[in-house]
Amino acid sequence: MKNQIRFSLYSFFLSALILQPNLAIANPIPAPLLNCYFLEFPQSPVCKCNAKNQEVLNSVGTESKVDQQQVQKLMGAVTLSIKKDPHTAKYYADRADQCIKLGQYKKAVDDYSRAIELDPESAAYIVKRAHVYNLLRQYDKALEDCQRAIALNANDAEIYIQQAYAYAEMQKYNTAIDNANKALQLNTTDPQAYVLSAFSELKSKKYDEVIVDAGKAIKLNDKRAGAYRLRAEAYTKLKQNDKAIDDLSIAIALEPKFVCAYISMICIYIDTKQFDKAMDYCNKALLVDPNVSLTYANRAAVYGNLNQGEKALADANTAVRLDPSNSYAFVVRASAYTILNEYQKAIADCNTALILNSQETYARDLKAFAQTQLGNGSRSILRLPLPF
């Protein structure tokens, strides 16, 4: 009977602890923020839902298909042009454009800088360098370039797109929205501005506005997977899970490598206790990319709810190994240790989670729960404060 009480209450605790759809996405991915919504920005070949990447870009994602052989060919041709005429700014800018496609951002900065030296009145080159600074997470430099570009041409919408991006990554969401709106005043048909606005609205908990702006982005470009995921996140917050699932299904159909869309789907199914579907999407996400900490952490949560402590622990260990800065992975592993009655280890992981993220309320509550098991026996189980 005591074991039944422990598991019943623990399972209830675990569902509240791990399976919040917002928790599973928000906590393990520190700023920068945009990567999962904006893969067009770095032209990255696949979404990477990991702490090391920019969250704005991580969250919006569309896959960009780059023909590297063709890009290298173009770079070679431009390099020959530079050797013949090293004083033409356009050649350096053209080569920088190709460097971006290959992810060679520092080389792109060097070439844009040379182009700017040769043509200091070109706002376009300055804005392009700001774009690369954003990709390098050097947001202050990006904003400096944007201000310089505004002084040359204040009517270029792309300047305000880059500023909105930088401010969003710096978590200055209202300023990001203001800049996105300025971009839209200059170019009403740019879906990027609506996506940036929707992202900042999502972070500001303006969910109805997210739905409107993401919808406008989709109307302008219905192939933009990240806009669907943004709208899905807003629907999830508003408990409109069916609409969220529909949008995420479209996002995945558009971009089968969009790992973050799978993770959003996983969180919905865990939250609604549809563990078979959650497990299915975990496995699909791992086929896309077997090196994403958050996917293993979520699958560990599924195993935990199915009372498969050993499997939960194995996945949690993998999540921690892949990303030791992921506080959520330590909370999940602590939960697995609790299922296995290894309370000292659970407490240690809760302590680590709190060091990584002092706002991990669930880690604090789980630690208290584990401490009561060590100190007071089963009587304390019934007094466990559930973390709602």
Q: Does residue 44 sit within a domain?
A: no
User: What is the C-alpha separation between 231 and 16, in angstroms, rounded?
Assistant: 24
pLDDT profile of the chain (388 residues), mean per 10: 33 37 31 44 37 50 64 88 93 94 94 97 97 96 98 96 96 96 95 96 96 97 94 97 98 94 95 95 96 95 92 97 95 94 95 94 91 67 31
Which pLDDT value is given to residue 57? 52
C-alpha dist (Å) from residue 350 to 19, 26, 119, 280, 339:
17, 18, 56, 28, 14
Largest CA distance in the chain: 84
Identity (one letter) of the amino acid at 102? L
User: What is the C-alpha separation between 8 and 166, in angstroms, rounded?
Assistant: 46
Q: What are phi and psi of 36, to 5 degrees?
A: -80, 0
* H/E run at residue 130: helix 123-135
Q: Does residue 323 sit within a domain?
A: yes
Q: Does residue 283 sit within a domain?
A: yes
Which pLDDT value is given to residue 56? 57
Q: Does residue 173 sit within a domain?
A: no
Q: Does residue 279 sit within a domain?
A: yes
Which pLDDT value is given to residue 361? 86
Please, are residues 202 and 233 in contact by the beta-carbon 8 Å criterion? yes
Q: Does residue 373 sit within a domain?
A: yes
CB contact set of 72 (below 8 Å; sequence gap of 6+): 102
| CATH number for the domain that contains residue 12 | 1.25.40.10
Which pLDDT value is given to residue 10? 37
Domain residues for 322? 1-31+258-388
DSSP 8: H
User: What is the C-alpha separation between 15 and 368, in angstroms, rounded?
Assistant: 17
User: What is the C-alpha separation between 89 and 100, in angstroms, rounded?
Assistant: 17
The SS3 of residue 37 is strand
Closest CA to 45 of 7, 120, 102, 98: 102
Q: Which residue has the tokens 């280890």?
A: 345
Which pLDDT value is given to residue 261? 94
Helical axes 293-305 vs 309-322, angle rounded to 10°: 170
pLDDT tens column, 80-135: 999 999 999 999 999 999 999 999 999 999 999 999 999 999 999 999 999 999 99
The SS3 of residue 125 is helix
Please, are residues 339 and 315 in contact by the beta-carbon 8 Å criterion? no
Q: What predicted TM-score, i.e. pTM, was given to this entire model?
A: 0.80
Q: What are phi and psi of 35, to 5 degrees?
A: -55, -35
Closest CA to 31 of 132, 165, 125: 165
Q: Does residue 297 sit within a domain?
A: yes
3-state secondary structure 201-216: HHHCCCHHHHHHHHHH
Q: Does residue 252 sit within a domain?
A: no
Q: How many domains does the chain have?
A: 1
Which pLDDT value is given to residue 37? 53
Count of beta carbons in the 10 Å neighbourhood of residue 348: 17
